[in-house]
Structure 1
Amino acid sequence: MTVAIYHNPDCGTSRSTLKLLRAYGIEPVVIEYLDTPPSTPELVALLDRMGVPVREVLRERGTPYADLGLGNPVLTDDELHAAIQAHPILLNRPIVVTTKGAKLCRPSDVVLDLLPDDLPDMTATRDDGTPFLRDDPTRGDSPDLAAALRAAGLPTADLADPGRTFFHYTTLDRHGVGWGGFELYGADVLLRSLAVMPRFHGRGYGRNLTALLMRRAYDQGARQAYALTSDPKASAFFERLGFAACDRASAPATIQNTRQASGLCPASATLLTKRITF
């Protein structure tokens, strides 16, 4: 398999993605795009292969994004491309290209989508020492999912209702780590049913699981995430991820009317929200 990675060696996610490729014995073509940025025609072709507009690959943090006013929705694609040519750091990273497609690999785990389906089981860790995760879609009526949520004290009454998406998370060598799901309502998404097995608490699994869950929701159109919890520890966890508590009345009606918000969780539960960016 031929693989290329648009890489920034100063970025932990980019380093982790490259590390995972090499752990599987893949030596990609490494394009350090800050030194050799793609031309506008090359980037247009790359975006066409990714199936995303140029705005989807703009990086906000640590770049002149705000100073240049690039959040202005009236800016044309030509203007955004011109900004990237002037400031290559605006191109988010890493972008990986394989024979299966091309994708912005944030979090780094999503590079697995671009690799062969028959990858061997193995152990590998990110640049920060935390494990990579696989996410396997699972049915809402899975007995294992229900058992895990009951053990965590989370609601299970609506698991089989339509409109829910659930995943089982494992390490690369298929050891179960936890579960997570979401309900998608246009650009808004309710994260739900997040449960990390107790022996993995406090080791970065929950953070990585949530990032991967939000990426899956993002790929389906979500741009604003919500989470509902009555557990102060869970509230603190989400706040560490950049979520902020909000008034339920300020949330979209679709979120307020979910079974979680309208009855399964107590009225005292905290609603938190975060804009999804990568």
Structure 2
Amino acid sequence: MDVVIYHNPACGTSRNALSLIRAVGIEPHVVDYLKSPPARALLQQLVARMALPLRALLRERGTPFAQLGLADPALTDAQIIDAMMAHPILINRPIVVTPLGVKLCRPSETVLDILPFAPREDRVREDGSLFLRDEQIGAGEPRLAKALREAGLPTQDLRESPGRFYSFRTLGGRLIGYGGFELYGTDVLLRSLLVTESGRGQGAGRNMVLLLMSRAFDLGARTAWVLTTDAAPYFETIGFTRHARETAPPAIAGSPQAAGICPASAILLSRSIAL
């Protein structure tokens, strides 16, 4: 299989995606795009094949994004492309091209979406946390409801939920946890998150949240919300900020979780989603 990765060797996410490609026995064509950026027409083609808004490919952190005023919503796609051509560091990474598709692979596990198969043994990221595979499951999956009940999490609205739910496993197949989200326009409510006892202390919770936000981003979400009675400090460590409950967007406030299932003592947090 011919695979191309537009790679930044200084980026941990890019290195992790490259390691997963190699773990399935594929040696990709590695393009150090800071040294050899794609031509304008090729970049436009890649964006079109990813079916992403061009702005979703713009990298803010560690780039001249702010200095160039690229947050200005009046900028055209042509102007954004001009900036990327002049400053390739603005192009987010890694972009991976395979016969199965083109994808901005953030988090790195999403590269598995466009590979023919996944590694079949547990592997860890450079930071020591587990690589995970997510699999969409039905809201009525009995094992999901059983795990939530055992964790003391609500289940009464599961079958009527408009959300998407996932199981998370290590690459070797060990069940690590469950989670889901309900999409309300550009807002998404993360819910039903749990990590199994055997998966705790291995970075699984953070990686599950990153995967959930990535899946929601692909559906149009740009802000993630969560309600929790006891895990607010944890969510703050992964970039969430507390809010007063009355400041929630109407759709989030009107969701069954916020409107009555979660107690009044539950803390509301949010963070922006940016690949």
TM bracket, shorter-chain basis = over 0.9
Deviation at 1:119, TM superposition (A): 4.1
One-letter amino acid matched to 1:32: D
Deviation at 1:5, TM superposition (A): 0.2
Deviation at 1:53, TM superposition (A): 2.8
TM-score, length of structure 1 as denominator length: 0.97
Range with bigger deviation, 20-29 or 120-129: 120-129
Q: Distance in 2 between matches of 1:135 and 1:204?
A: 15
SS in 2 for 1:181: strand
Q: What's the C-alpha RMSD, in Å, of the aligned pairs?
A: 1.0
* Contact preservation (8 Å) 1:5, 1:31: yes
Residue in 1 aligned with 2:142?
Answer: 143
* Contact preservation (8 Å) 2:168, 2:208: yes
- Residue 276 (1) aligns with residue 270 (2): no
SS in 1 for 2:128: coil
Residue in 2 aligned with 1:253?
Answer: 250
Q: Distance in 2 between matches of 1:93 and 1:122?
A: 25
Q: Distance in 2 between matches of 1:101 and 1:16?
A: 19
SS in 2 for 1:222: coil
One-letter amino acid matched to 2:248: A
Residue in 2 aligned with 1:124?
Answer: 123
Deviation at 1:54, TM superposition (A): 1.9
Residue in 1 aligned with 2:25?
Answer: 25
* Contact preservation (8 Å) 1:163, 1:183: yes
Q: Distance in 1 between matches of 2:154 and 2:100?
A: 38
* Contact preservation (8 Å) 1:246, 1:272: yes
Range with bigger deviation, 50-59 or 74-83: 50-59
TM-score, length of structure 2 as denominator length: 0.98
TM-superposition CA deviations, 1:193-237 (whole Å, max 9, x none)? 000002222220000010001000110110011000111xx1011
SS in 1 for 2:224: strand
Q: Distance in 1 between matches of 2:130 and 2:186?
A: 29
Aligned pairs, number: 275
Q: Gaps spanning 5+ residues in structure 1: where?
A: none
Deviation at 1:162, TM superposition (A): 3.8
* Contact preservation (8 Å) 1:189, 1:217: yes
Q: Distance in 1 between matches of 2:201 and 2:71?
A: 35
Residue in 2 aligned with 1:243?
Answer: 240
Q: How does 1:70-149 map to 2 (within 5 A)?
A: 70-116=70-116, 118-119=117-118, 121-149=120-148
SS in 2 for 1:194: strand
Residue in 2 aligned with 1:167?
Answer: 166
* Contact preservation (8 Å) 2:6, 2:96: yes
Residue in 2 aligned with 1:211?
Answer: 210
Q: Gaps spanning 5+ residues in structure 2: where?
A: none
Deviation at 1:275, TM superposition (A): 0.8
- Residue 40 (1) aligns with residue 37 (2): no
* Contact preservation (8 Å) 2:130, 2:202: no
One-letter amino acid matched to 2:174: H
* Contact preservation (8 Å) 1:23, 1:124: no
SS in 1 for 2:47: helix
One-letter amino acid matched to 1:238: F
Paired-residue identity, %: 54
- Taking a change above 3 Å as real, the CA distance of residues 120 and 202 of structure 1, as seen in their structure-2 partners, is closer
Q: Distance in 2 between matches of 1:177 and 1:199?
A: 7
SS in 1 for 2:52: coil
